[in-house]
Structures are given as C-alpha cells and as structure tokens.
Structure 1
C-alpha cells in the first residue's frame, strides 16, 4: 500500500470511482477479507481441541493468535514499502496464496512450535492483503462513499466472525481442528481466484520509504488518533480468542457454542455496517462515543454474570451480540478520522491503522492469557476498564482533525 489519494491505485476507464465495476471490486475485496478474517479468528472456535491435541493449556494455545497479530503489526508497513510498485491485483492474489500455504502448514503442524511458525507465515499473507484492500476500496468509490466502502471490506472480516468461527467450531467437532484449517486453506485459494478474475487491473504506485511511512506518526492528528485503535482493540478483542472458555463459565453447553459465536458475528457485521453509514452522516466522534460506552457496559455485565455464575442463555446471547457490535463498530470511524487527519497520506495512515489494530489485538490477547488463570471476571473487568479509558481518550482527542 503505497499511494496517496491522488495516486492511490486509481481505476481507469469504466472503473472510475463510484462505477458499478468499482463497487463490484469492493465486494470482491470483502470476500478476500473474509478469508483473511476466518484465518485470524477461527482459532476461537476450536481452541480447547487444539490445546488438547498439542498438549498445551488453552491460555498457551490462544497465544497463537497473539503471535499472528504481532507479526502482522510488524510486517504490514515493511511489506507495504517493499511491494509499493507491484500492481495491486497480482499482489493481492499472491497474499491470498501465501495465506493458503500457511493454513495448510498449520493443519499439518506436528507440534506447537511448528504451529506458531506457520501462524507467522499466515501473518505475511494477511499483512500483504488487508491494508492494500482497504486503500484500494477507498479509491474505487466516490469520496462520500469512502466510509461505506471501508465498512464493506471490514465487513468481510466481521463476517468471518459470524460464519467462520462457528463453522470452525462445528468442523472441529465433526472432524478436527486440523481439517478445519485445511478448509480455510481451500477458501483462501478460491478467494485468490475470484480476486484474479474479477478485480479491475490496478497499478502500483511510487515507492514510499519506510521512514516516510513512519514519519506520518509525527502528524499531530495521526499521533492523537492512532493510539485509540490500539486501546480499542485491547479492550474489545483481547478476550475473543478465549470466547469458548468464557462461554463455559456461563454454563453454555457444547451444542450451544456455535450459535452463540454466530450471534457474536451477527452483532459484529451489523455494528460495522451501521457504524460506517453513521460515520458518513453523523461524524466519527459520536459513533465512537456510543460504541465505547456500549462496550464498557457489555463487558461489565459479562464480568458480573461470570462472577455471579448467572447461567441464563438469553442473557448470554444478548451479551454476545452486544460484544460483537461494540467491538467492530470502531474501525470504519477510526479510519475516517485518520484519513481526515492526513488526507494526502491515505494509504500510509490506513496501513498504520491496520498495524495499530493488530498490535492492540496482540497486547489484548496476551493480557487476556495472563489474566484468565487469575479469574474470568477479573479479565472481563479489566477489559471493561479499558473501554472506559477509550472513552476518556476520545474526549481528550475529539478536536483533532
């Protein structure tokens, strides 16, 4: 991802921003994001089975998500610099092929060390796809539809939580977690073919040195806005890799797990799409304030329910929907704030935001793994406190443009 708005992979001819083919390309990018998201999140669906198979604790197995996220955060700006001149379509296809190879390696991993290595390889594919997909989507539509286009691509990631995680949970029960990862490898191959045949031909751009990419962090608006992406994902996503153990604390039976994970995904997709449209109409600050308040309340109730041993399925279902919605509302609004803060550096700030998001996931998942042995209510309470911190930070930085 290497282009400023004036040079960002602009479609040509009939592919001008806002054209029907441009919108179709955005949908294809969302399908690729679905493959990436399924790979990143599916571990939550079969974490206990993976832990038993590899003879490690559930907290340790969950750190495979941490390794993926850390590698993604570090690799994203580096890969964007190295691949700046590469045409967008073949680059996106190559990233999905790497993802397929990595998942096949994970499915065949003989031990935990090999699994962690293939998770790093998967991060290469994800880091090569997701930031570029976001920047390309923003270039394929009119400026007034930018937040919606970003929401559609992020919707591919959130749809992975709605379908990929519960399907992974189901596949892990019918077959095993290795077969589930093999299916994700096949999905990545299919998405690579769709991107190759449907996405318009898009050129690369001028190479932007890594020093210049990081220099965007000195922009007052970017420096003020970007930390909220880290804090927000720490609060909202940090415990998702351990969703199944959390559900067990609420007395959820194995047969109900997949449906509750699906409800989380439904909330995630709905929250993301509503937030994208609302950010265009009402502005991102109001959207973020409402979302972080909802997240704090949701996690606080979750902490109370686990501590009080409240085993009431309707409440658990409501909490899962609210958790998903309040986790994924924030990405479109944050990206709009960053693009507004540095409109001449769209591709750079979208890439930095992707790294910030995954850094937040990594820190949050690592923190969750450390807190779970202390107690599930404690882990959830800390996450709720982080959501309140996000509200305070948003208030302090609301005037930055």
Structure 2
C-alpha cells in the first residue's frame, strides 16, 4: 500500500493542476490583455485534452510496461507545466495547458490500474480510493492554493510549484515503483472495441451524468450560495465541500473492500447526492444548516468514481487500463458539459437558486440508468455470450 501512496502523490499534482488555473485566470487575463472568458479557455484546453488522451493514449500504450508509461506521462505533464510558467504569449500558454492535460490524461488511469495490480484483490477498493483521494485532495486545494500563491508570488511561480510536484512524483516513481508488465499485445482496433461494450458504456454513461451534476454545479457554487443564502464569503462553505470530498474519496475504498458491494454503494452515494442538492436551496436561510448538505455533496461526489471503477475492472479485466481511462474521461467531460449546460440554463432565465434542483434532476437520471440499465445490460450480454468477461461485482444486485 505504501507504493500506492506514491502513485497518489502523482494524482495529487494532477488534481491541483486541473483546478489551480481557476484561481489564476484574473492575473493571466491582465498580463496577456485578454478577456476573462478567453482566459477561461485555458481550463477548457487542459480538460478536453485530458478527456481525449485518457482513453485513446491508454489504448495505444497499455501493452507497454506500466512504470514506463507512468514516467512518460509525468514527463509530459511536467514539461507542459514548465512551459506554462515560461509562456510569453496567450497562444503559447494555451498549447502548454493542452500538453499538461495530455500528460495528466495518460497518467491517471494508468495510476489507478497500477494501484489495483500492486495489492491483493481484497485491498483493491482501498488502493483505488487512495489514488482517487490524491486527485480529490489536489482538486479541493487547487483553487484556494492558486489564489494564495498567486497573491504572494505571482501566477508563474504558482505553476512552477505544480511543475515541482510533478517532478517529485516522477523521481519517486522512477526510484521506488517496481517494474510491472503491460497488458498482452492487442490490435488497437480490438482494444478500442471495448468502448462499444454495452456493459462498459452503461457504467461510463452513469459516471458522465453524475459529474454533469456534481462537478458542473461546483463551477457555480459561490454564486449559488450568494443566491440562496446571501453569503458574501464562500470560503468556509467551499472548505466544507472540500473536506467532504477528501473524506468520501478516502473512506469509500475501505467500505468497498469490506462489503464487496460496489453496485449498492454507488446507489447510496447517488441518493445522498440528490438529497443534498435538494436541501441546499431549502437550507439557504439558515447558514449553519448549509454545511451539512455541502459536506454530503462533496463526500458523495468524490466517493462515486471508486465503485464505478471497481465495476469496470470486474467487467473487463482484459482491458482494465482502457475502461478505467474511459471512465476518467467521462468524469472530466461531465464537468465540462455540466459547466456549459448550467451556464446555458442561466442564460435562458432560470434563477441561480434553481441550479441545485437541476443538478438533483441529473443525479436522479444517472441513478435511474444505474438501477435500470446497467444490471440488465450486464445480464443480457453475459447470458448471450455464455462465457466472457465477469460481470461487475453486483451487476445483478437489484434482483437480490
């Protein structure tokens, strides 16, 4: 498990880099004389390249030794951040953010599957939770750390700090991580065919919809709090959401290992998230009550990837790198689509205070697909083949 911590340090750097730019946009827009909305495309460049690189590059590289891929991904990630810090123009910075996103997209799914391979099967959930916990802690700290470091040292030195984190992770993995073989060689066409597997597709669609709700709404959390509770300083509430995220991502792996019921656990997580969304606007008048739904929201949002990845690993162990990368890509695409979708909803005239209800609707939609589609597709495809890949640990849980 100690080597899993090393992998988690790398995901911590990734999580911080993904959200730290949000706290730097104002300074960057001033330095390069671009609008704030144009500066915001730096976040989009990182996110989209991450989402696209995760499944495609992992499919191409999965036959390579895991350690080699991890080192290569961290090298690309570190170079992208170093180039970001050195950028003398906005177009160059945009390209640099895309490069960093590609490195992150390659590293994250490989880190998750490597962590699962380093431990016994009964510890796999804990290992996944730890790696995802590193990502969530970096995500939670990204925005406030970016604001604080930029205020003290400037945005360039902030990006140098992220570059240093990536370099430390690269050195640590290079020295301490054992050599692990890659997956057996397989033609790219066959490997990419897993994207059309109904079992995999249904699970990944649920992840996509869940993160439209969770991470998409997070983009507007500060104005939502101002709307529902006239809260001018959102930092304590953002911190509460972050604490919940850290607890959820670290504890969910332990629960998975003890119960071996990933399907049911994800059901509980989505129910908790939907309930929290409904409570947020209702509790706005009493500020002390807002902390509880925000804590639950953070915990549920960051607890959700681990049981999904556990089901994917069980469904397609022959293509573990690819399916984990696909799920990771769906999470980031859900975040991007959610932000844009909620912005469109606001532009259409819906009040800010109604956004949590929209998010709750997406959570319920994801839950319905999870309950009604995932087990039925798994049972149908498994029965049709007679043999084949194992179904997720609880693909038939709803019939118990």
Same fold per superposition (TM over 0.5):
yes
Partner of 1:19: none
Measured after TM superposition, the shift of residue 58 of structure 1 is 5.2
Rounded to whole Å, the distance in 1 between the matches of 2:178 and 2:13 is 20
Measured after TM superposition, the shift of residue 131 of structure 1 is 0.9
Partner of 1:367: 341
Whose relative contact order is higher, 1 or 2, with alpha carbons under 8 Å and at least 6 apart? Answer: 1
Map 1:16-165; keep pairs closer than 5 Å: 23-50=1-28, 61-110=39-88, 112-165=90-143
Task: Give the 3-state SS of the residue equivalent to 2:305 in structure 1.
Answer: helix
Partner of 1:184: 162
Cα contact 1:81–1:207 (8 A) shared by 2:
no
Is 2:303 aligned against 1:329? yes
Partner of 2:241: 264
Cα contact 1:43–1:241 (8 A) shared by 2:
no
Task: Give the 3-state SS of the residue equivalent to 2:96 in structure 1.
Answer: helix
Length, aligned pairs only: 373
Measured after TM superposition, the shift of residue 65 of structure 1 is 2.9
Measured after TM superposition, the shift of residue 175 of structure 1 is 3.3
Measured after TM superposition, the shift of residue 199 of structure 1 is 1.2
Task: Give the 3-state SS of the residue equivalent to 1:238 in structure 2.
Answer: helix
Cα contact 2:200–2:315 (8 A) shared by 1:
yes
CA change 1:184–1:172 in 2 (3 A) is: same
CA change 1:207–1:251 in 2 (3 A) is: farther
Structure 1 unaligned segments of length 5 or more: list them: 1-22
Aligned Cα root-mean-square deviation (Å): 2.7
Measured after TM superposition, the shift of residue 304 of structure 1 is 5.1
- More off after superposition, 187-196 vs 89-98: 89-98
Measured after TM superposition, the shift of residue 137 of structure 1 is 0.7
CA change 1:42–1:320 in 2 (3 A) is: farther
CA change 1:117–1:246 in 2 (3 A) is: farther
Measured after TM superposition, the shift of residue 170 of structure 1 is 1.9
Is 2:319 aligned against 1:341? no
Rounded to whole Å, the distance in 1 between the matches of 2:345 and 2:370 is 26
Structure 2 unaligned segments of length 5 or more: list them: 379-390, 392-400
Is 2:151 aligned against 1:170? no
Rounded to whole Å, the distance in 2 between the matches of 1:338 and 1:218 is 13
Select which of 223, 231, 237 maps to 2:201: 223
